[in-house]
Amino acid sequence: MSRSTCYITTPIYYVNDRPHIGHVYTTTICDIWARFQRLIGHDVFFLTGTDEHGQKVEQSARDRGLEPKAWADEISAEFRRIMGLFGLSNDEFIRTTDPDHERQVGVFVKKLLDSGDVYLGTFEGWYDEGQEEYYTETKARDCEYTSPISGRPLVRAKEENYYFRLSAFQERLEALYRDCPGLVRPEARRNEILGRLREGLQDIPISRTNFTWGIPIPGHEEHVIYVWIDALFNYATALGMAEPEGEVHGRRGQYWPASYHVIGKEILWFHAVIWPALLMALELEQPDCIYAHSFWISEGQKMSKSLGNFVDLEQLQGYIETYGRDALRWYLGTNGPLGATDADFSRSHFHEIYTTDLVNTLGNCASRVSAMIGKYCDGACPQDTGECAGGGVEWAEFTAAQVNASTTAMAQFDLAGSAAAAMAIVRKVDAFINDTEPFKLAKDPEQATTVGNILYRCAEAVRIAACLLEAAMPDSIARLQEAWGFDSSTADLATRCQWGGLQAGQSIQKVALFPRVEAT
């Protein structure tokens, strides 16, 4: 990622259901990436929001005796509230009911109508009037042209719809996939799309006339734009891409195109085929990467309301109360389903990761180092005289390599890899302490210089690891920064991660970052 502006998006979430771990997960991993890029010094725009139109939302509202907008307002506000709970640093929260979005969608669709990429077509088929549903020819034949639900005969019905000329983009999409092998990741998801492209693309209906909760087709108001088309456009309307070149467009347009559209694997088709084709039709630049992660399952099974194993907002809040917000961010960021396989969210695994990584490794190391500096150096950062202190570690080289590895992994959206490179520094500090045994040397006053050299190197290495971990665990690292007197506001990450940042004499206070929690 060489350019200095970055744009990252989450899916916009449906308001027909309450937020749960899936939504928190995708938004959190985007947040970790966004914060990391900001620390590097990049200018980041991080977008999330809610998807509020369509028949399902209309139905959910009616079921509760509410108007769709009132229902959407309620749930959207809840999604916005979770941003606060989980420390999410999005720059904008878009709603598809925002007038700015609605107006721009109209502009985009008008453009597509003018170019002929959207056209009015007729669909004819076997219709079940009771179910308001079309049957394919095969299905109609199988049920002998009679509704299996009502027993009434199917009727021959005709419907006018607007269509997007997806079939016209077949070759251009194939070329795009050939030329940009990193467009869809991970690889398994890319292969899935290549397979589907080989089956051939057909034009898709993009309007409906059987409900009203949506954005009308310009000039043909009884047609409502299909919710998926409306929703995909959010990535462009949030930056004002359909506004006339001017203030809004100019200010936010610089972030276009997206560095990452992060999504779950179930909505890959829309993002990896329809969205690129829409962008081609609108002559807008393609994203760098569409990253489709896999799913969280829970306690070994697919999450479902009936099984009662859904990790809902209340449960997540429970984890925050017991373990802290950073612990949840750490678990989601390092043990989630980022690749092509699903990941299991279980209470025991969460506890184990918290205890191993945060209590026993990072927390213990930071507290051990500051306790020794307190005891042997009166709480003041010792001086490194540069002499050999044993242990055989070239600290400046070693930390520089880890900083490089952590940054490169993050650019590739390998959050676990980035975190592992930072934690490797902490583990090395622990091994160094065990090898050099400063607590034994400290008994001999003649060894004071060596003890100082060892402890400086430990503290400095932990400081560098902390800089790399700040994006994942902003609250805890802020506490360490305060106790050790280094901060993130002054310089970019590369400068801050250079060896030698801690100054001899500065106060290093004892810090307890992650309290031990009893297993439940």
Give the integer Cα–Cα distance in Å for 10 and 489: 27
Site for ligand ME8 contains 263 (CB under 6 A): yes
Binding segment for ligand ME8 (CB under 6 A), chosen from 83-91, 230-238, 366-374, 471-479, is 230-238
Give the integer Cα–Cα distance in Å for 107 and 223: 15
Counts of helices then strands in the chain (DSSP H, E) = 22, 15
In terms of CB distance, is 237 or 450 closer to ligand ME8? 237
Q: Which of residues 27-86 bind ligand ME8 (CB under 6 A)?
A: 51
Binding segment for ligand ME8 (CB under 6 A), chosen from 12-20, 152-160, 365-373, 492-500, is 12-20
Which two three-digit tokens encode residue 244?
């006339």
Among 6, 26, 169, 323, binds ligand ME8 (CB under 6 A): 26
Convert residues 278-317 into a mask of x (bound to ligand ME8 by CB under 6 A) and - (unbound): -----------------xx------x--------------
DSSP SS3 for 89: coil
| Cα–Cα nearest to 456, from 387, 361, 397 | 387
Give the integer Cα–Cα distance in Å for 395 and 455: 12
In terms of CB distance, is 264 or 438 closer to ligand ME8? 264
Least separation, in Å, of the C-beta of 219 and ligand ME8?
25
Site for ligand ME8 contains 231 (CB under 6 A): yes
Asked whether 215 and 106 are in contact (CB, 8 A), the reply is yes
Euclidean distance between the first and the last CA atom of the chain, given in angstroms as a whole number: 43
Site for ligand ME8 contains 14 (CB under 6 A): yes
In terms of CB distance, is 12 or 109 closer to ligand ME8? 12
Least separation, in Å, of the C-beta of 134 and ligand ME8?
23
In terms of CB distance, is 25 or 162 closer to ligand ME8? 25
Asked whether 340 and 488 are in contact (CB, 8 A), the reply is no
Among 1, 143, 180, 267, binds ligand ME8 (CB under 6 A): 267
Site for ligand ME8 contains 22 (CB under 6 A): yes
SS (H, E, C) 323-386: HCHHHHHHHHHHHCCCCCCCEEECHHHHHHHHHHHHHHHHHHHHHHHHHHHHHHCCCECCCCCC
Binding segment for ligand ME8 (CB under 6 A), chosen from 18-26, 65-73, 138-146, 193-201, is 18-26
Which two three-digit tokens encode residue 299?
């306690």
Instruction: Give the C-alpha distances (Å, rounded to integers) separating 405 from 392, 408, 468, 494, 500.
Output: 21, 5, 11, 12, 19
Which two three-digit tokens encode residue 47?
């977008």
Least separation, in Å, of the C-beta of 23 and ligand ME8?
5
DSSP SS3 for 397: helix
Instruction: Give the C-alpha distances (Å, rounded to integers) separating 227 from 164, 216, 232.
Output: 14, 11, 9
- In this structure, the strands spanning 220-225 and 207-208 are antiparallel
Binding segment for ligand ME8 (CB under 6 A), chosen from 129-137, 146-154, 176-184, 259-267, is 259-267
Site for ligand ME8 contains 184 (CB under 6 A): no
Give the containing element (helix H, strand E) for 254: none
Least separation, in Å, of the C-beta of 40 and ligand ME8?
25
Site for ligand ME8 contains 185 (CB under 6 A): no
Least separation, in Å, of the C-beta of 189 and ligand ME8?
12
Least separation, in Å, of the C-beta of 292 and ligand ME8?
8
Site for ligand ME8 contains 177 (CB under 6 A): no
Site for ligand ME8 contains 332 (CB under 6 A): no
DSSP SS3 for 32: helix
Among 6, 7, 8, 23, binds ligand ME8 (CB under 6 A): 23
Asked whether 480 and 466 are in contact (CB, 8 A), the reply is yes
Least separation, in Å, of the C-beta of 155 and ligand ME8?
33
Site for ligand ME8 contains 276 (CB under 6 A): no
Binding segment for ligand ME8 (CB under 6 A), chosen from 19-27, 113-121, 171-179, 482-490, is 19-27
| Eight-class DSSP state of 273 | I
Binding segment for ligand ME8 (CB under 6 A), chosen from 125-133, 143-151, 227-235, 480-488, is 227-235
Least separation, in Å, of the C-beta of 318 and ligand ME8?
18
Give the containing element (helix H, strand E) for 94: strand 92-95
Site for ligand ME8 contains 264 (CB under 6 A): yes
Site for ligand ME8 contains 328 (CB under 6 A): no
Which two three-digit tokens encode residue 161?
């719809």
Give the integer Cα–Cα distance in Å for 203 and 498: 55
Name residues whose C-beta falls within 8 Å of residue 283's C-beta, 6 or more positions apart in sequence.
Answer: none
In terms of CB distance, is 97 or 476 closer to ligand ME8? 97
Least separation, in Å, of the C-beta of 47 and ligand ME8?
11
Site for ligand ME8 contains 25 (CB under 6 A): yes
Give the integer Cα–Cα distance in Å for 61 and 54: 11
- Applying CB under 6 A, the residues found at the interface with ligand ME8 are 11-14, 22-23, 25-26, 51, 231-232, 234, 263-264, 266-267, 295-296, 303
